[in-house]
Each structure stands twice: as structure tokens, then as C-alpha cells.
Structure 1
Amino acid sequence: MSPAKLFSRKQSWLALVSLLAGSGVACAAPPPSAFPSAATNISLLWHVQAPRGPANAAGVTLEILPGPTVNIGGKVSFGVTARKPGYLMLVDVDAEGRMSQIFPTAELLAQSVGPDMNLVKPGVQFIVPTPAAQQRGFEYVVAPPAGSAVIVAILSERRVQLLDLPDIQRKLQGPADTLSYLSDWTSQLRIPEGGGGRLLPNNWSFDIKSYSIK
């Protein structure tokens, strides 16, 4: 999240801070050897041409905590609820138009116990950072650039945890344009069936919120 830095105060590898490519999320990270298989259990996504489905069939609702106006240096968290189960990803588009996935990250996945650390259950608010991540000292701290930005909650019906986000060739013009862009892009993704090799369609749901960084 370019408006936020994700870091840990409690790990012995605190000094090893890396900047995620294409984003402003600074992550306290152990040496690369500590993440040998962070993505090995994550399905590869394939692109096909397909019509776009409903934008929010799962009834996803995103909340920015404590509110939509945040100050540089302040801490933020996110609450997500849905009517249907699914796997949550949060994508940030900062005031300069840079798009990055801020949850989950490869670092968080490598440290999680079990395969479902981003699973949202129906009617139960899912808080990011999760309690487990908070216990390890992870938090989001607002960082420049100041201005208007958006955060997008993406809920996948099938298990997906990391998105290889596309390079944006133009600056997205506000929430509606951002939602249309991501909805069109995800509609082209197919997920390989476990062990079977078939490419399966997926249902994606979205909610988007604007916020202001001061």
C-alpha cells in the first residue's frame, strides 16, 4: 500500500527492509532464503477472453479504519464482510496511480499457518492486519504521497492469494474507472484445477473505497 508501510517491530530481522516492486509497501522481511516457497502453493492464473460477471455477487463490504481521511504517519486497518465465503485480496491505487496488492503479501503467506489465511467467512468481519499478523508486530502506517487514493477489496470464490497485477498504461480516473479496469481484467483469469489441468472460471466480487491522505 503506497499509503501504508507494513513492518514488524518484534522480529530479529527488522533491519532487513525491502520495497515491494511497483508499490510503496515497505515490509520487514527475513533473508530471501526464509521464503523458499512463498508462492509454491498459489495457483497460476491464466488469461482468456470472457464476459464480465456481476461486480459484487458476494456482497463484499469494505471499511477503512478509523476512517476515509488519514494522516501521514498514522496507522490504518481494514474491515471486510461478505454474504458468501471467499478469499480476500486488498489492492491499493495511490494518489500517483501506482497499483499494488497490500494483502496478503508473500511475506505474510510464508509465515502463515495453514492455506486459508485470507479466507473470509459469511457475515463475519475480517480485519486486516489479521490478529495473527498483529501478534507478530505487523501494522500499516500511512506514507506519502498525499492526495486522493482508492483501496479495492477483491473476493475470489476459488482459492487465490497473490495477483500478478497488470502494468497500467494510463492513470485510472477515480473509483468507477478503477473498478471497471480490475473487473474486466479478473474476468479474463482462469485457475488451473488441482491435479486435473483444466482451466476453471472463477467468480470475483469487489468493493472499493476512496480515501484521502494528508
Structure 2
Amino acid sequence: MAGQAGKQDEPHGRALGRRLNWLRAGVLGANDGVVSTAGLVIGVAGATTSHVALLTAGLAGLLAGSMSMAVGEYVSVSSQRDSERAALLVEQGELAEAPEAELDELTGLYEAKGLPPALARDVAEQLTERDPLAAHADAELKLDPDALTSAWQAAGASFVSFTAGSLLPLLVILLLPVSSRVPVTAAAVLAVLWATGAVSARLGGAPPGRAILRNVLGGGLAMAVTYGVGVALGVAGV
């Protein structure tokens, strides 16, 4: 019974893991949007005080970045989904050609997890009677045939999270007076990077200190470099 209960809990654990991965991806997407757009608009602000230039550059960066993230995520998840479907087709073919051998294999998998041979056989037979493909996909491939990752959902999540992150530095720098726009925008961005570093570390079960430090230093360096280039170009009149 304990083995059966553990077996029933596994899909829930993987579902939770998938939700955490989605949340972590959203946090990282927002983080990328913050850093990319902040670096861009602060660089432009170093070269010019024009609101039109800032708005144009910021919107271009936001749209280009969010579309790039969405397309990249769509391609990546589509490739993963194609691999998962191919593996399921192979498994389906093996079940059709050699059902007894597959039942023995499933029994062996449950024995390897610690179930006594008789109980492992009983569990394998019951799950095979219910849905042989789902049983083998779960035990062998760690997949749920009815819950494969959606490429469109992944692309949409990346687009939304990157856009949300990008809006912060863009709105802040456009709404502030010229004299304070760069330092206040940089401070706001660093605060957000501190928060996303802490959240990503918590989701990953890692100590937050290093994640926060990496996030803040990386974002600060990106803004410093682009601002320096912008100032140099603005002084040169390019």
C-alpha cells in the first residue's frame, strides 16, 4: 500500500515541479526584460535627452526582446514535445508488438523502486489493464501522455513575462525629469533585480545571497556599460 501511495503521489510531484519551472521561467523572463530594456534606455539617455528617442528605442527593444523570447521558447518547447511524442510512439509500438515483455519490464521497474516482486507484478498488471501506455510512459519516460508541454503556452508566458519586466524601466525613465531619470531608473531596476534574484533562489531551493548578488551586479554592470557608451556617443555627436 505504501508503494501504491508513493506511486500515486509521483505525478503530483512532477506537476508541482512543472508549475515551479513555469514560475521560475516567468521570473527569469521578467528579469531579462528588466535588464535588456534598462540597459537600452539608459544607454540612449546617456546620448540624448529626447523623449521620442527614448520611447522609440524602448518600444523597439521591448517588442524585439519579447518576440525573440517567445519564438525561442516556442522552438525549444516544440522540439522537446516532438521528442516526447516520438518516445511515446516507440513505446506504443513496443506495447503492441510484445505486451508480455513490456509487462515484465514494468514489473522490474517497480521492483527497482523497492516493491516486493508479487506486489510489483500486481501493480504492473492493474496499471496495464487501465492504460498500458500511460503506465509505461510514467514509469519509463517520466511523461504524462495527456499533459505534454504546450509550445504556445510557453511562448505566451515568455512574451508576457519579458514585456512586464521591460515596462518598468521604460515607464520610469519616460516619466522622470531629465536630471533624475538615469539614477532613479537604475535604482528601481536594481531593486527589482534584488527581488527577482531572491524569488528565483527561493524557487530553486538555493541560498538567496549569491543569486541576488549575481543579479544586481550583472544588471548594474550592463547599465553602466551601456550608459558609458551612450555618453561617449552623445559627446562625439554620433
More helix by share: 2
TM-score (norm 2): 0.19
Which is richer in strand?
1
Please report the TM-score for the alignment, with normalisation by the length of structure 1: 0.21
Tell me which of the two structures has the higher relative contact order, counting C-alpha pairs closer than 8 angstroms and 6 or more residues apart: 2
